[in-house]
Structure 1
Amino acid sequence: MLLSNHYEMRYVPINKTAAAPYAPIFSDVRGKLAGNVAISKDRKNLIAIYPVLLQALPNEIRPSRVGILFIEYDLTRAKQEAYNDALKRSLVFNGTLIVFCLGLWFFFEITLTRRVSRLVSASNSLAEGNLNVRAGLSGSDELTQISVAFDRMASKIQENTRELHRQNAILKAQQEASIDGISIVDENRKIVSYNQRICELWHIPIGMVETGNDRQLMEWFISNLEDPDRLLNRLEYLYQNPTEIGQGELLLKDGHIFDYYSASVRSPLGDNYGRIWYFRDITERKEAETILTETNQKLAIYNEELARATRLKDEFLANMSHELRTPLNGILGMTEGLEENVFGAINSEQREALQIIRSSGEHLLELINDILDLGKIEAGQIELRRTPTAINQVCQSSISFIKQQSLKKSIQLEVNIPSNLPKLSLDERRIQQVLINLLSNAVKFTPAGGRITLDVTIEQAIGGQLNIFSKTDVESNTVFSPLSSQTTLSSIKIAVSDTGIGIAPENLRKLFKPFIQIDGALNRQYAGTGLGLSLVKRMVELHGGKVGVTSEVGAGSCFTINLPYQDLVIQSPELVSAVPGSLEQDYIERFTKTSPLILLAEDDEVNISTICNYLEAKGYRIVLAKNGQEAINLTKLNLPDLILMDIQMPGIDGLEAIRQIRCDRKLLNIPIIALTALAMTGDREKCLEAGANEYLSKPLKLKQMVTRIEHILVEKDVS
């Protein structure tokens, strides 16, 4: 094969040419009829080898000869040109890139870097406590929005800091104004705040408090205590249980008694920040309590003796009344028989004598009945038989009893009774006895030709929210259901006025005392025991009413009685539960008297009936709540004198109800006695730490419960 475009290489063997190193490739190219391109070993030349079909021989249809086209191309110049071209383009590109980067840097320096630096500087200043710093960036990009948010945050922090300083100032002022010694210790037992009062109470050197070392301060406390181990054990428990509340009394070696209270300082999220301690000197109060115990003991002895004397008097009156009635019945019976000629005919003089005997005997019987009734009332033995009663009928029947007496003295009777009076739940016979007594007195003390007036009116009272018992049957006195209602307590006012002799002001206070008449001279002129008005007062009070009197000497008197009744506007017709009771009037009485008001929070019907009946018999008024939420609401509404709180109740339990009540400043001083069937170790502490004053476990000893109530109410009145 002859190669090259130089004719002088014609007929030169291949091994003598530049193609010699590539001769092995020729056969491969010729066999595959495919070209091959390569770079020389010195990488200066491009080598291309291609197959070439030669002209067919005379006896061949297809050429069998394949030649080789060998091309060698010098790359040195092309590389130089390419390098030069690349260098030129690289220089242009790099120059353009440098200019672009410088422009970009300048742009970001102006629009971003300086502004970010300003924002960072403002943030650092704020972190160092400069609350007046603001970033103040302008524009409409995201960095400006960040700046605006930062400035708002800085303003809010400044406002919150001012408020925090104000609150700290208020807190410090409150601490210093408190009569309690106050110390606040953080979670690391380091004192972070205190007031001057704690230094005065414990005689602590100022330098010791200012060190903030709680352990050193506690060592000072303990060194002054009579029983330091008790406080130490309590301290360890409280620090191991940071959510617990601690309270108790401390006896000092110098004889002083301190009351302490400790609670954890916690965030709304539950983070613990330490404890606050309160100390109060209660030495004088304890001394006063000691005197009051002693006094109560003396009073108890005196009351026991008084009760015994009263009981003996009542028994004497009852027995003597019974003994007198027996022979008196015989006298009146024999007199009636003689008047009716049972034992033979009698003359007019004898009949007149018998009438005198009968009249005297009936008068004596009335006096004995008055004595017996008074004895029953004072002994608590009288029972009212209430029925729905028309007051008009009672008044008219009472008037009829004194008509004959008034006619004999030419006394004018005037009666003013409205026609639309409601029926009252009354003991008709007892109220009639009251009216007859008042009317008889009016006739007795009104000169001939005078006037007696009986006026009946309805008086409205202010409505209020309370728990009452709704009637299921107006004629029934056995089953009632407590419900919450809007109640207007009203009363029927009955006034008996006369134009009689009147009563001097200094004698008015004697009127309703038993066995007392206001004037010895009247005792000779007007017969009587002095029991009538006393019975009037007590009968009316048994009905939940009240008695009043106005009088002017020489002009007459006016006696009034008010008998309460209820107008109901039911807010919830649903009956909560059925409990035994009496008519609704019985439950009005507890709200119209001035005895202490007790809120009973209890959901068990048997316990409700037992406790309510016992407390009512002891003279207390009762407001009933059947769950924790109702106890909270009724406490805020009625402000009771004391709360009996059952712990196990549906919904909000007793412990939570106590805590919520104690959160209201108006309710802080209301005593609370916790009632629970639980009597395990720690239950009493849970109740006291929740805010209860006392803890009683079930089954209750009712006498013990009432004794505890009386003691607490006395302490409350003293404090």
Structure 2
Amino acid sequence: MQIDDHLFALLFEDTPVCIMILNVDGEVKFINKFGGYLFSCPKEQLIGKTLESYINSYNFGPSWDDLWQNMVKGRMQEARVEVGRGNNDDVICLVSSFNIENCPDCIALVFRDITQELKASEQIEKKNVEMAKMNTELIRSNAELKKVSELKSNFLSIASHELKTPLTSIKGYSDIIIDNFRDKLDSGIFRMIESINRAADRLHKVVNNILDVTRIEQKRLRLRPETFNLAVMANDCIEELSQFTLKRGITFKCHMESNPPSFYGDKMRMHQVFTNLFSNAIKYSPDGSPIDVYITTESENRFHIVIKDHGIGVDKAEQKNIFDPFYEVGSTNRHSTDYTKFMGGGTGLGLSIVKGIIERHGGRIWVESEGIKENSFPGSEFHVLLPIHSEISWDDDETKSLYFEDPRIIDPSELEEEQELMDEEVSILLIDSDREAVEIARMVLESAFDIHVAESGELGLLYAFEKRPSIILMDSYLPGLDGYRICRILRSQEETRNIPIAFFSAGTQNDEIQKCFASGADDFIVKPFSGRELVDKIWRLLMKKKEEETFK
């Protein structure tokens, strides 16, 4: 198809850019239709005129006179200029020039309106600046949050130590009174002592829950895996809670397979999961109501656990929040059961810990409920999915330490037999600045062992070399030299290298426990402790030392 001159003329006329032809004096000889629109005047009005009065420099750029002189000299030009349009808004154009081969006295100009492009670019640049500011603010906020998180962790570590230190005295003395002075005290006073002991246990549980939440948030919850029966575990937890269910006439109905596959997970933590979920169901159930427990297997790959109560239910708006730390359901006063019986109180940590433990095992948990309704009890269903064969790599290095062994109750006659196995008198060095904890330990141990006490790290180190004790118990928090450095020093010296060392501390954050074992400790005894647990730990360490010496 041939294109004639008329078609070319139409093409230039209707092109949506301004096309001009000027002579060397700068007079307009030709302008297309769009040029008239761009300059906001009839195109005939521009013919024979120069452009000085229409064009201004843009953004402190070169003037039109300078640009035109370069164009006349045959230098290709491309520049931004501002085209004045009288009463209309001025526009920004990108103007370019080129010479016409067969017309040496003519210069062609092309004006392209880039006003909207520049506005869009400016908006993008503005957004980029805003985003850069927001990013800077986010970085600063993240740094502040990280600092707050570290401060919180440090605070919880210190707070747990400071809370557990007096708890050691409360629990220790009350244990001694309960075990040894039952017949010597008035029954009313003895019941008070038992109440104090139970209150200490509850406070100890609250402190441990707070520490668990911190471990979960920091993804540092460590597990000890073993194979066990989930159904047996659930029944054991139900039995332990019977004192609460019997008082209120609440019954558990278990629906479990007769021969389910074994579950591989942390037995202690799963006990914690069942206890918290069952306690929660009891708390929000009316007196005399049943609680259904289902444990089934799905596709031979996972367990499906359902705990269904017939209580007040969980409001739709609250269902997404109940697994958050410190969150408590707010509609408990709608329950028909007597208010004082129904309200169990709590810290709002139970379900948060349950969620963390379940997810740490590679599972998930959710709640289903129709929500709270007037004068009806739709109840709640808590669903748990757990893999039969763990889908995560276990981080169980700590299971190699004695600290994670199950406590064994020692019979006094058994202690006598073990005492006879020792060739020499057993002496214990206590290095601890907490006088109350030392006094409790002394009262528990002095009938069977020779006790030496040092209240500072330096004095403890001196006694260790002078007295060569059979075993050393020391706190990690000590004035002067701390327990970690003392332990490393003792392990580095030939005369003290083989003395069993157990840390004797209220600090139970995982990194603190790791530091204890990394410094060379053989065991970790958590404050507050029971007398039997303390004696048990000591004999375990002594027997282990004797076995090692025997096989040398």
Q: TM-score by structure 2 length?
A: 0.46
State the structure with more CA Rg: 1
Structure number with greater CO (CA < 8 Å, separation at least 6) is 2
Q: TM-score by structure 1 length?
A: 0.36
